[in-house]
Amino acid sequence: MIRHRFSAEDFHKMAEAGILGEDDRVELIRGEVVELSPPSKRHMAALKRLMHALFPLQQAKKALLQVQDPLRLFPDTEPQPDLALLAYRDDFYQERVPEAKDALLVVEVAETSLDHDLKVKLPLYAKAGVPEVWVVDLVREKVHVFRRPQGEAYGEERALEDGELSVLGLKVPVKEVLL
């Protein structure tokens, strides 16, 4: 099998040239363009609930919400997490793609992608230093919370079926995310 490796810059040039369409659901993982499966209705609803719950942080200019847009982790890795909570900037990152250092929280919503999210993407987020990751497991109805990145893993991991999630002082009921 022949594989072609790309940098994030190559990836963006392919999009600018029309090789990758604006509606293509792809991300760059370790230099490879990976196709994402289309989200289910339940996935879309969970993401909307998360956006609704976290929006007060954007209104208060504590953070910016980014939904299914690129987050540059490394020169050859630019996943598109379902949701990223970024450090607030008045220019809304108009001049550059947000990077791992800008991420306060990354959220992946998993219905069919749990294995990929936990085994492929989570180690990349940890290695890049993303301080907190939530993986919303819609099948088992729990939210996996990862904190304190250490190498390619996280030093703290919890799986919540109820209770509250907390970010930047905002409390989000787990049940509200999993409905």
Q: Give 106-156 pLDDT, tens digit per residue.
A: 999 998 889 989 999 999 999 999 999 999 999 999 999 999 999 999 999
pLDDT in tens, 98-108: 999 999 999 99
User: Is residue 24 domain-resident?
Assistant: no
Say if 11 falls within a structural domain. no
With respect to residue 168, please indicate whether it lies within any of the assigned structural domains.
yes
Question: Exposure pattern of 137-166 as b/e (b: 16+ CB <10 Å)?
Answer: bbeeebbbbbeebeeeebeeeeebeeeebe
Higher pLDDT, 95 or 16: 95
Domain with 113 in it: 40-178
- Supply the pLDDT for residue 17: 74
Cβ–Cβ under 8 Å, residues 103 and 134: no
Query: In this prediction, what percent of the chain has a pLDDT beyond 90?
Result: 68
DSSP 8-state class, residue 91: T
Is position 112 within any domain? yes
Q: Domain count for the chain, please give it.
A: 1
Confirm if 141 and 161 have CB atoms less than 8 A apart: yes
Residue 14 lies in a domain: no
CATH number for 81: 3.90.1570.10
What is d(CA 150, CA 37) in angstroms, rounded to the nearest whole number? 29
The residue with greater pLDDT, 25 or 54, is: 54
Q: Pick the closest to residue 134 from 123, 122, 124 (CA basis).
A: 122
User: Is 128 a domain residue?
Assistant: yes
Residue 9: inside a domain: no
Any domain includes 2? no
